[in-house]
């Protein structure tokens, strides 16, 4: 919407026979406003042309689903292994990621919530990423959830919580 350019055909969304098409990698710029249009043809005849009433503004409309993660409990610390997908959407590559989003690892124990915000960049967000929550109280139950937090606006989608009881005698070879 910021420039009076012609509408562009999405290459992977032509001659669609299903009920949807994924436009994730069409959005390129966070502050841009996009207007999708669906056109249906029969032969050379245009049957339907629908422009979305609501525009897409990734800066506020975008919310990332949380990554998968595993936790391993030791005597006084928990290793959190965050599993990012192998490919991230185009719009998040480069500075988009650490400027607009931060990863939050939330740890809850005894009703007290602690938030950890490890620094992420384009390299850490593909593949596995390990974070250690240390100085925890042994013999207590700790629960962890992981999610992306948008810098200012946008909804947070929290992950399911995973819990572990820290037992004595569980030592990590990494610490």
Q: Is residue 30 part of the contact set for another protein (CB under 8 A)?
A: yes
Among 12, 17, 24, 53, binds another protein (CB under 8 A): 53
| Contact positions with another protein (CB under 8 A) in 102-161 | 151-153
Q: Tell the residue number behind the tokens 């949807």, with chain if given.
A: 20
Number of residues that bind another protein (CB under 8 A): 21
Helix (H/G/I), strand (E/B), else coil: 124: coil
User: Which one-letter DSSP state was computed for residue 65?
Assistant: P
Longest dimension (CA), the chain: 73
Among 57, 118, 170, 172, binds another protein (CB under 8 A): 57
Mark 59-98 with x for binding to another protein (rule: CB under 8 A) and - for no binding.
Answer: xx--------------------------------------
Going along 110-170, which residue ranges are E strands? Answer: 112-116, 127-133, 141-150, 162-165
Q: Is residue 35 part of the contact set for another protein (CB under 8 A)?
A: yes
Q: Is residue 55 part of the contact set for another protein (CB under 8 A)?
A: yes
**Interface segment toward another protein; rule CB under 8 A; list 10-18, 27-35, 78-86, 155-163:** 27-35
Going along the chain, which residue ranges are E strands? Answer: 37-42, 45-51, 68-73, 78-84, 101-109, 112-116, 127-133, 141-150, 162-165
CB of 38 to another protein, least distance (A): 12
* C-alpha dist (Å) from residue 21 to 10, 25, 111, 118, 173: 10, 11, 43, 34, 46
CB of 53 to another protein, least distance (A): 6
What are 174's two structure tokens?
A: 């990494």
Q: Is residue 2 part of the contact set for another protein (CB under 8 A)?
A: yes
Pick between residue 27 and residue 74 the one whose CB is nearest to another protein: 27
Q: Tell the residue number behind the tokens 């990332």, with chain if given.
A: 64
What are 146's two structure tokens?
A: 């992981």
Residues that bind another protein (CB under 8 A): 1-4, 30-33, 35, 51-53, 55, 57, 59-60, 99-100, 151-153
């Amino acid at each position: 919407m910021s420039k009076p350019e012609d509408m562009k055909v999405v290459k992977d969304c032509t001659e669609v026979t299903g009920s949807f098409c994924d436009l994730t990698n069409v959005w390129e710029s966070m502050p841009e406003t996009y207007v999708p249009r669906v056109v249906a043809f029969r032969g050379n005849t245009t049957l339907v042309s629908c422009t979305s009433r609501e525009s897409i503004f990734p800066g506020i409309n975008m919310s990332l689903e949380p990554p998968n993660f595993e936790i391993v409990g030791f005597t006084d610390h928990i290793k959190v292994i965050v599993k990012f997908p192998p490919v991230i959407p185009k719009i998040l590559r480069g500075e988009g990621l650490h400027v607009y989003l931060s990863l939050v690892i939330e740890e809850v124990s005894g009703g007290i919530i602690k938030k950890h915000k490890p620094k992420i960049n384009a390299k850490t967000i593909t593949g596995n990423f390990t974070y250690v929550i240390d100085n925890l109280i042994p013999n207590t139950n700790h629960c962890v959830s992981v999610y992306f937090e948008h810098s200012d606006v946008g909804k947070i989608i929290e992950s399911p919580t995973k819990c572990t009881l820290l037992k004595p005698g569980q030592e990590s070879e990494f610490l």
